[in-house]
Amino acid sequence: MDKRVPLIFEQTVSGRRGTTFPSSGISVSDAKNLIPEQFLRTGGDEVSLSSFRKEPALLAEVSEPDVVRHYTRLSQLNFSADTHFYPLGSCTMKHNPKINEKISSLPGFTHAHPYQPDEQIQGTLEFLWQLEKMLCELTGMDAFSLHPAAGAQGELVGLLCCRNYFDFLGEKRSTVIVPDSAHGTNPASAALAGYSVIPVPSNKRGRIDKDALRKSLNKDVALVMITCPNTLGLFEDEIQEIAEIVHACGALLYMDGANFNALVALAEPAKLGFDMMHLNLHKTFSVPHGGGGPGAGPVGVRKNLEKFLPDSRIVKEGEKFRTVPESSQSIGQVRSFFGNTGALLRAYAYILSLGHDGLKSVSENAILNANYLLKNLKGNFKPYVDEPCMHECVLSASESAKDGIKTLDIVKRLLDYGFYAPTIYFPLIVPEAMMIEPTETESKKTLDAFTEAMRAILQESKQSPETVKLAPHTTPVRRLDEVTAARNPILRWKRHG
């Protein structure tokens, strides 16, 4: 049976409408004097919506109930953190407390317009200012810019600040060092900022190879970008020594803190030796994300880098808050207005509702849950490094791949068991990788059920491999051609005939 839900366009019935408009009462001849010719469509006596188009709009012709049912049905087909265990490593799909939604939908915030004068949006400016101070306190950094709309944009901002910093010093440095256990956006951002990228390998313990780092460092290196915890879910336990080596050659040390949920209220990156960093508020501080939705990737820096941060910062003067216009050394504006204030507000509500001690137990429980899963599963799947992990663990299905059941097969089968798949084939240095991040809010019961499902799938792989190889069996579609979907997406519906 084809369980595929038809596209909304396939539900079209010619002439069917969800809304009808009253007649405009403006004649076409009058409209011609008001509206440029190229926007007018000929035909008819009275102006209607269709008078302004040469061709009918490419819209589905459906009723309001058709639309409501279609999208409600689609939403129910979705796996989400609100409906399923969602252990997507590195992406941190954690529970988003509903209080955040309530606070972020208060009309004083949602109805504010970014062009309103500062006096009229004091509440918005105040929470942004306070959020910046909280992030400084949690990371030990001296200043934050809340502008970047995502982690990757935060990286770019950090790199541009680094560029301006060395320009200011009058030093020419053109390379950035990125370990092979870094997130893939790091080398991409460095290249986008005009740097050439030098990779550094990991050692047997999955940490940066210090000797290789030493060899790669020279006066041409501007920045060393370290994902911490790294993409193996491991803490760089020699980070202070690494910081000394990097600083000794005049370079800066950047922390990709997208996954700060393993460290928040436990370690301050500035004390570990980092000069700048970004946070993914939409991971660490529970802002719903995914599907390219709005995020927030604030960038924090030490005092000596503050003047390079993006323009339009917020300052407090007495009891009033004010935006400061351009500064000459800033990298400029990177995003309109103040950043994604809706996402920032959710993170603010999250931090306030938990407080310092609450955030500490978030990290502790995230780490505990990941280690519990690692311990449960390491007899079945090989860990890349057999050491305690941080908030996520990386296992390999290379053993079962030898028998023809690959990681992809296993995680597709997981969908039938009612679990979203972990991140797979990442980090790249691990063959048949599965990167599992349970997050702090999951109960032992859920983690045990997940463990059972993973073990059951391994059993099936031996007893009835076809069941696993043809999975999933319960979803509307089975295995999609993701490569064609990415390379050749059909983004426009073509009307037939």
Interface contacts to ligand PLP, rule CB under 6 A: 90-91, 150-152, 183, 185, 227, 256, 258-259, 280, 295, 297
Q: Smallest distance from the beta carbon of 297 to ligand PLP, in angstroms? A: 5
What's 138's DSSP letter?
A: H
Q: Smallest distance from the beta carbon of 390 to ligand PLP, in angstroms? A: 12
Please provide residue 400's backbone torsions phi and psi, each rounded to the nearest 5 degrees: -75, -20
Q: Which residue is nearest to ligand PLP (CB)?
A: 151
Half-sphere exposure of 23 (CA within 13 A, CB side): 8
Q: Smallest distance from the beta carbon of 151 to ligand PLP, in angstroms? A: 2
Q: Smallest distance from the beta carbon of 495 to ligand PLP, in angstroms? A: 35
Instruction: Rank residues 286 and 461 by Cβ distance to ligand PLP and give the closer one.
Output: 286
* β-bridge pairing 320-324 and 393-396: unpaired
Instruction: Rank residues 297 and 438 by Cβ distance to ligand PLP and give the closer one.
Output: 297
Instruction: Rank residues 395 and 457 by Cβ distance to ligand PLP and give the closer one.
Output: 395
Q: Smallest distance from the beta carbon of 395 to ligand PLP, in angstroms? A: 18
Instruction: Rank residues 405 and 424 by Cβ distance to ligand PLP and give the closer one.
Output: 424
Contacts of 98 (CB under 8 A, 6+ apart): none
Q: Smallest distance from the beta carbon of 185 to ligand PLP, in angstroms? A: 4
User: SS3 letters for 363-428?
Assistant: HHHHHHHHHHHHHHHCCCCEECCCCCCCCCEEEECHHHHHCCCCHHHHHHHHHHCCECCCEECCCC
Q: What is d(CA 127, CA 345) in angstroms, rounded to the nearest whole number?
A: 8
| First CA to last CA distance, the chain | 28
Query: Which amino acid, residue 413?
Result: R
Q: What is d(CA 43, CA 34) in angstroms, rounded to the nearest whole number?
A: 17
Instruction: Rank residues 298 and 383 by Cβ distance to ligand PLP and give the closer one.
Output: 298
Task: Note the Cα 48 to chain centre separation in Å.
Answer: 43
Instruction: Rank residues 164 and 261 by Cβ distance to ligand PLP and give the closer one.
Output: 261
Q: Smallest distance from the beta carbon of 206 to ligand PLP, in angstroms? A: 15
**Which H/E stretch holds residue 257?**
strand 252-257
Instruction: Rank residues 151 and 288 by Cβ distance to ligand PLP and give the closer one.
Output: 151
Q: Exposure string (b/e) for 266-284, b if CB count within 10 Å is 16 or more?
A: bbbbbebbbbbbbbbbbbb
Instruction: Rank residues 134 and 258 by Cβ distance to ligand PLP and give the closer one.
Output: 258
Q: Smallest distance from the beta carbon of 282 to ligand PLP, in angstroms? A: 6
CB count within 10 Å of CB 234 equals 24
Strands of the 252-257 sheet, one edge to the other: 143-145, 299-301, 276-279, 252-257, 221-227, 175-179, 196-200
Q: Smallest distance from the beta carbon of 292 to ligand PLP, in angstroms? A: 9
Q: What is d(CA 388, CA 372) in angstroms, rounded to the nearest whole number?
A: 10
Q: Smallest distance from the beta carbon of 230 to ligand PLP, in angstroms? A: 8
CB count within 10 Å of CB 450 equals 23
Instruction: Rank residues 185 and 202 by Cβ distance to ligand PLP and give the closer one.
Output: 185
Instruction: Rank residues 298 and 400 by Cβ distance to ligand PLP and give the closer one.
Output: 298
Task: Note the Cα 423 to chain centre separation in Å.
Answer: 13
Rg of the chain (C-alpha set)? 26
Q: Smallest distance from the beta carbon of 139 to ligand PLP, in angstroms? A: 15
Instruction: Rank residues 125 and 226 by Cβ distance to ligand PLP and give the closer one.
Output: 226
